[in-house]
Chain A
Amino acid sequence: MRDAFRLALAYMRYYIFRTLILVVCITIALLLPAAVNVLVKYYNRVMIVRAETTPLILGAPGSPGDLVMNTLYFKGRVDRRLSAVELKAAKDAGLVTVIPLHVGYTAQKVPIIGTSLDYFAFRNLRAAAGTLPQVLGDVVLGAAAARNLGMRTGDRLLSDQEKLYDISSTYPLRMKVTGVLADSQSPDDHAVFVDLKTAWVIEGIGHGHQAAETVKDPDLMIQAIGHNLVMSGAVVEYNEITGDNIDSYHFHGDPNSFPVSAMICVPPDAKSGTIFKARYFQNESVQAVVPARVVGELMDIVFRVKQFFDANFIMVLVSTSLFLVLVILLTVRIRRREFETLFKIGCARSTVAAIQVAELVLILAVSLVLAVGLLGGLFWYVVHVRMLLTG
């Protein structure tokens, strides 16, 4: 059999293009269904695990799917947001730990998540370097985000300007990187985290600037009505929160109206969770969503679509197999004279068959190895580079 493989290998090397065409065809036929299968299973696992570890989400009425994608995977946007008054109400119920989330702004395209320290405990996130955000203006980076941004503790991260050509819009905030989170193999790796109030500053609800009392240039004061001073736009507005200016930061408007995208609610036990959930049953201003149920329904649709692909791949495999049979039959026909010579010299017909089988085995083995290698590479690329769901 070793000699059959030696002859088969010599034939394949000599007719390298013919061999490559076969290898490519078989590799693709093997790779496509395997890739779809592996990636769908991977995404299913990633999504289900994250969803199952998040007991309940409160959000504004709208698409539960959007709410879950936004809250769990920091993807897309929610149409409407909750306000701080609903956050307070949930907290005041005293039944669950309420973790607010403010999602929607970015820093160098990386999502900025405004939240509380409870979030880090809930997701088992710890700082691999530095500390978690302690004061206004601190930011902690997810592990992958730090790698991709090339930043570490002590660096400064600028939030993205929402509208580049709108000079009246909020200035980007320069945040101090106080820490980098340990790798968690989750969407948290690809986000940066700030305190909820910092998120509100980024949104423009709060800001800091030169104190009106210290302004000496009379041209900068437009109007004084009692204690209210209307200042010129030329008054210096800070774009970085420092120890020197932090006291100047303040918020405008009704604190009860400050927005949060969603709240993650973590009940200490099933009973508290059920009671808490019941409070939001048929509530018109807040919806309570169990993420595992939403993701389960979403994956059901994905798996139904996958069945169509599976059927498609079976047909591709069948047609590739038929193509292979045709190639073998044609090869036997083309090489009939060669085989006849081998037989005349004294070669058994079974040896001729063994040479053909060896060729087939080698082609299938090379295709299989190539398909597995490509699948591994694709999986690595999707998980670590493209980060389709986790990033």
Chain B
Amino acid sequence: MIELKDIEFHYREGPFSLRVPALTIERGEQVAVIGPSGSGKTSLLNLIAGVLVPDAGEVRVGDNVLSRMDDAQRRAFRIARVGMVFQEFELLEYLQVWDNMLLPYRIHPALRLDEETRQSIRTLAERVGVGNFLHRFPRRLSQGERQRVAICRALGTRPDLILADEPTGNLDPATSQTIVDLLLEQAEHREATVLMVTHDHGLLDRFQRVVDLKDFPELDMEGGP
């Protein structure tokens, strides 16, 4: 379960600030986060991931109170329990698809890459339709294929929380539907909670709940990310 209580956050530079009095997301829930540009959707995801630390309030994910953890603990939490999917895919151009999928295992000593894990990632790649591209570089893939690889990277560590920041922002409508379906299906298969920021209202019916940042009366929307 994710719980945000009395969250206050602002960037050092700029007038932007975000207030979330209370937000609870149940384990396994699939939630879309919407809101106008600059309303703080990405900041909200980053607070839940532990990338950002609130100025006040508490972020709790399961038994972990992120707001009380130090940087190393939050990173360890993130790599072990959170899968992140980005709008621009953020694949490393110099790594082949397979190495991109294994990236979390390469950058954190806490994750062990054994044969069973390799096999499960290989199976996942087959399931999302990139099993034949494992030794290609990202530049030789279509946008949709790249996002599939990014999803594999996010799910490869078997996270129980998936945070997706406008993963369909660069995709055509048909591909967007496929990617979201794929993401939600795989998350459900793994009983993972999903929080996905989107501008595409056509995708909202696929989610169990929609959180609109406009609904937070305390939310200050003066601008910012």
- Measured CB to CB, the residues of A under 8 A from B are 3, 6-7, 10-11, 13-15, 337-338, 341-348, 351
- In the bound assembly, the distance between CA atoms of A10 and B80 in angstroms comes to 24
Count, chain B residues at interface, CB 8 A: 25
Determine whether the beta carbon of B94 is less than 8 Å from that of A14. yes
Determine whether the beta carbon of A344 is less than 8 Å from that of B49. yes
Residues of B within 8 A of A10 (CB): 94-95, 99
Determine whether the beta carbon of B72 is less than 8 Å from that of A348. yes
Determine whether the beta carbon of B84 is less than 8 Å from that of A344. yes
- In the bound assembly, the distance between CA atoms of A192 and B92 in angstroms comes to 66
Determine whether the beta carbon of A346 is less than 8 Å from that of B106. no
Least CB distance, B98 to chain A, in whole angstroms: 11
B75 at the interface (CB under 8 A from A): yes
- Asked if A345 meets B79 with Cβ closer than 8 Å, knowing A3-B106, A6-B106, A351-B107, the reply is yes
B51 at the interface (CB under 8 A from A): yes
Residues of A within 8 A of B23 (CB): none
11 more CB-based (< 8 A) A-B contacts, given A14-B95, A343-B51, A351-B107: A7-B95, A10-B95, A10-B99, A14-B137, A15-B94, A345-B79, A345-B104, A345-B107, A346-B79, A348-B72, A351-B108
Determine whether the beta carbon of B99 is less than 8 Å from that of A347. no
- In the bound assembly, the distance between CA atoms of A7 and B95 in angstroms comes to 8
Determine whether the beta carbon of B90 is less than 8 Å from that of A341. yes
- Asked if A348 meets B95 with Cβ closer than 8 Å, knowing A3-B107, A7-B106, A341-B90, the reply is no
Question: B76 is contacted by which of A11, A338, A346 (Cβ under 8 Å)?
Answer: A346
B162-197 contacts to A, CB under 8 A, are none
Determine whether the beta carbon of A14 is less than 8 Å from that of B93. yes
B78 at the interface (CB under 8 A from A): yes
Residues of B within 8 A of A347 (CB): 75, 79, 107-108
Task: Name A342's closest neighbour in chain B (CB-CB).
Answer: B107
Determine whether the beta carbon of B78 is less than 8 Å from that of A346. yes
Least CB distance, B221 to chain A, in whole angstroms: 24
Residues of A within 8 A of B103 (CB): 342, 345
Q: List 12 A-B contacts (CB under 8 A).
A: A6-B106, A7-B95, A7-B107, A14-B93, A341-B86, A341-B92, A344-B49, A344-B51, A346-B78, A346-B104, A348-B75, A351-B107
Residues of A within 8 A of B90 (CB): 337-338, 341
B104-125 contacts to A, CB under 8 A, are 104-108
Interface hub of A14, A344, A347 (most chain B Cβ within 10 A): A344
Least CB distance, B119 to chain A, in whole angstroms: 20
- Asked if A338 meets B92 with Cβ closer than 8 Å, knowing A345-B78, A347-B75, the reply is yes
Enumerate the 5 nearest inter-chain pairs by beta-carbon distance, A residue then B residue, closest first: A346-B79, A14-B94, A347-B107, A346-B78, A341-B90
